[in-house]
Amino acid sequence: MLISKLEVFHLRLPLLHHFEISSGRLTHIDSILVRLRGEGDEGWGEAPPWNTPIYGHETAETAFHMVRDIFAPEVVGRRFDTPGSINAVLGQFRGNGFAKAALETAWWVLEARLKGKPLHETLGGDKNKIVGCGNSLGIEDTPEQLLDAVQASLDMGFQRIKIKVKHGWDLKILDKVRGRFPAIALQVDANSAYSLEDIDTLRHFDDYGLVQIEQPLAYDDLIDHATLQAELKTPICLDESIKSAEDARKAAQIKACRIINIKISRVGGLYEAIKIHDVCASSGIPCWVGGMLESAIGESICIEFASLPNIKLPSDIMPSCRFYRPDITEPENVMSRQGTYQLSQQPGIGHNPVWERVESFTVKRWESS
Ligand code: OSB
Ligand code: MG
């Protein structure tokens, strides 16, 4: 399609409850939305890099700059008829996966709408897939608060529980959670809190029947993870370390993990996400879809992507009510009591932004002329 206009929005969305990972606590989410217009329709994309680089290297400010000053001049007024064509243009530039993903996901949604198809069909997903989800629970001030959050998540229907861990909030917390919930599907995410010097602690994670241990070691490491995986019974899942299909190939080759979490924002969009999915499928590595506390725009793109066949484990895809009141779309994202989502029945993602809400959360906006 011919892209006639690009708009970029920096939204600051207040969280209903803070979310803490090993590298810091968030009270609101800074997210980048892109609206692409072409051929009489529009598509919205999203990626939330936040306002400080405590997960990846980017911030909402850097992503806004990349979209406005670097990508928009290459995209507006040009035709992109295949995902490869838009990715070839974005691929001239290094890194900046979140900025690329905000724009690239908008291209896919516009493409699906123009073809009159739901996004999952355009992505090559399975229209009968039941997308299952788990909750991700941040570090709290007290263990009791976390135990209450686990119970509330199970009551909502989430299929598994993921607990953020760090030094001082790991084995003792797992004792308490396993003590109270002996049979639930449970996993941990360290967001790179440990090193191989912590091998004694890391070995003890094997005692809790965890489905997986996500990103225990450095955010840019593969080699130490391979050393650790050889020492542990529990599968390691890589998140931060996998930014491309090439990373996934190398991780598989050296056995750095047995599971991969695919985050569309981290990897620069849906085209690379599909490539990672395919590399993992042919290497026998099951995947699931990770999130970054997206609004319902980003979450519904994640739902559509989760229809691919090698997404085999419950994903971190959150209903609107988990983090936001209100969320920015109609309808909002609603999860069933079984912890599942329906795929879109409409062209695109079936969730449309409500303009007044987008406007009320926007701190900065730019549009091409
Ligand atoms: O590492 O998966 C992560 C949230 C913020 C930062 C990093 C991560 C997370 C999550 C997923 O655990 C939360 C979500 O999808 O809403
Ligand atoms: Mg993670």
User: What does the pLDDT read at residue 105?
Assistant: 98
Q: Which atom of ligand 1 is nearest to the CA of 322?
A: 16
Ligand 1, atom 7, residue with closest C-alpha = 292
User: What does the pLDDT read at residue 221?
Assistant: 98
Is 164 an annotated catalytic residue? yes
In angstroms, rounded to a whole number, what is the distance separating the alpha carbons of residues 361 and 242? 31
Residues paired with 13 in a beta bridge: 29
293 lines ligand 1 (CB under 6 A): yes
Ligand 1, atom 15, residue with closest C-alpha = 291
Which residues does 248 contact at the CB level (< 8 Å), separation at least 6? 242, 260, 276, 279, 280, 283, 285
User: What does the pLDDT read at residue 223?
Assistant: 98
Q: Which residue in 121, 134, 106 sits closest to 270, CA to CA?
A: 106
Distance 290 CA to ligand 1 centre (A): 7
163 lines ligand 1 (CB under 6 A): no
Is 243 an annotated catalytic residue? no
Secondary structure of residue 134 in the 3-state scheme: coil
User: What does the pLDDT read at residue 168?
Assistant: 96
Question: Which residue's entry shows tokens 């506390």?
Answer: 293
Encode 245-261: b = buried (16+ Cβ within 10 Å), e = exposed: bebbebbbeebbbbbbb
Question: Which residue's entry shows tokens 């981290």?
Answer: 266
User: What does the pLDDT read at residue 365?
Assistant: 98
User: What does the pLDDT read at residue 20?
Assistant: 95
Distance 5 CA to ligand 2 centre (A): 34
In angstroms, rounded to a whole number, what is the distance separating the alpha carbons of residues 296 and 286? 25
Give pLDDT tens digits along the chain (369 positions): 999 999 999 999 999 999 999 999 999 999 999 999 999 999 999 999 999 999 999 999 999 999 999 999 999 999 999 999 999 999 999 999 999 999 999 999 999 999 999 999 999 999 999 999 999 999 999 999 999 999 999 999 999 999 999 999 999 999 999 999 999 999 999 999 999 999 999 999 999 999 999 999 999 999 999 999 999 999 999 999 999 999 999 999 999 999 999 999 999 999 999 999 999 999 999 999 999 999 999 999 999 999 999 999 999 999 999 999 999 999 999 999 999 999 999 999 999 999 999 999 999 999 999
